[in-house]
Structure 1
Amino acid sequence: MKISRLVLPFVTAAVLAGCSATGPHLKSSVSEGVAGIEARLPYANYSNYFGYVDSSVQPEGKYKGKDTYYLYAWVPAAVDEIGVSMMSPAVSKPEGADFKHANFTPGMQKDADKFFDTYIVFDRLNIIDNTKIKNGGKVLQNLGRNDDTSELPANPSGANYNSLLRKTTSMNNASEALVRGVYRISFTSFRSNVEGSFEATIGTNVPGVKIAASLEELHELVNGNKL
C-alpha cells in the first residue's frame, strides 16, 4: 500500500523526530517496501498514557466477568486510522506531553517489576461535542479487541501477552467512520489479576489526541478548567 501525499510529510517528520514510549513498536497498517523488505510505517502522532493498578485503583466495569478498567481518549478530528497498544510492565518513562496517572510514580517506587497480561477493547462513544465530555455518554459500537500480539515486545516472562489493535475508517458506512469525538479503551486480564504498571499508546495521523482515566479529567484536559 502506498502512503498518501497528505500523510507522508507527517510520517517523515515522525521518523526523523522519533517517538516516545511505545511509538516505535506501535505501527500503522500502511506498509512500504525498503530494500526488498516490507515494513509498517509509524503514525504521524502518538499519545501515551502511563498508569499503575493496585488495590487503590477500583475497577469501573466488567468484561466477560472480569474486572475492567477504562481509559478515555479525545480525537479532535476525523482520522483515517487509529492504532492502540498496551504493554505491561511499562518499558519507558513518561516524558514531554505524555499523560500519567497519579498512581504511576508511587506504584513504580513500590514494585516496578509487577505486570499483568493485557487484554484491550476499543469502543467509540456518542460524544462529539468537546464541551459535553463531562456529561458522559454511551458506547455506539465496538471497534476492536486484542489479547496477544507478536508485534510488541514480550513481557518479562517471555510471552507475547501485550496487546495491539488497529481500526481504519469506513468510507461507505457513516456509523463506522472514525470521526471527531471520545473513544474508550477498556482493559483487563484473563491470565492474571490486573496489577502493576502499564503504558497505553494511541497512534493517529492527527495531532491533539488526549487520554485520561475519567471523562471528567478528559474534559478538563480538552477544555481547560471549565468543569
Structure 2
Amino acid sequence: MAESRPEVLRVRGLTAHYGDAQVLHGMDFEVREGEVVSLLGRNGAGRTSTLRAILGLTGRRAGSVQVYGRETIGLPSHAVARLGLGYCPEERGIFANLSCEENLLLLPLLRPGGASLAQIYAMFPNLRERGASPGTRLSGGEQQMLALARILRTGARLLLLDEISEGLAPVIVQALARAIGELRAQGHTIVLVEQNLPFALPLADRHLLVEHGRVVADIAAADAHRPDARARFREVLGV
C-alpha cells in the first residue's frame, strides 16, 4: 500500500512570489516513495510554479518543503537537486549546440545508480539513432525524450516533470507514457504537471487539482472515474 511507503516529498504552507506577484498561496501535499502524482489545473493555477518553488527557482518562498526528510526552504537550488531531484522543465533546456549524446553525458552525477547510455537507448531508441545530431536538429518529441533522459543519467530518484506531453504527436506521447510506466516499475517517484487528462489518468496514483496556488482536491486513481470525481475534473480543468 502507498500509505506504508516513506514520504519522499512533503510540502506544507508553501507560498512563492515572482517579484511582487504571489503565485502560490499555501500548497499542501505529500508524495510517497514510488508514487506517480499528477498536478492538474488550468494555465496560471500554480502547477509549474510549485515545481520551481520546490527547487528554489522562484523569488521569495516560505513554508516547508521536505525532501527525503530534510527541510530545504533555506537551501540553494543546487543543494536541493543534490538530494536526488531531477527537474524536466517545460522548455526542456537542452544544449542546442551539443550533440544528443553530449547532452546525455554532460550533467553531473547526483547519486549512484544513474541510467547508463545503454539503458537510455533501450528506453528511447530514437536517441540512439540521433546520438550524433545537434540539439537544433532534433524534433520536438526527440528533444522531450532527451530532456527526460538527461535527468535519469544523474541518478535522481524523485522526478519533477513539467508538461512533457504538451504539443507532441500521439506516437511520442505514447512513448513517454511507456517510459513513465517503466520508471515507476523501477521505483522512481514522479510528480507530473499536466493539463492532458487522458495522458495523466492512467499513469498517476493520485491526482492533485490545483486552483489559485492551492491544492483543492486529492483524487485517488481508483476514484478518478466516479461521477463526482469527473465533475470535479470538469470544474477545475474545463474538460
> Normalised by the shorter chain, which TM-score bucket?
under 0.3
Structure with the largest fraction of helix: 2
Calculate the TM-score normalised by the size of structure 2: 0.23
Instruction: Give the structure-1-normalised TM-score.
Output: 0.24
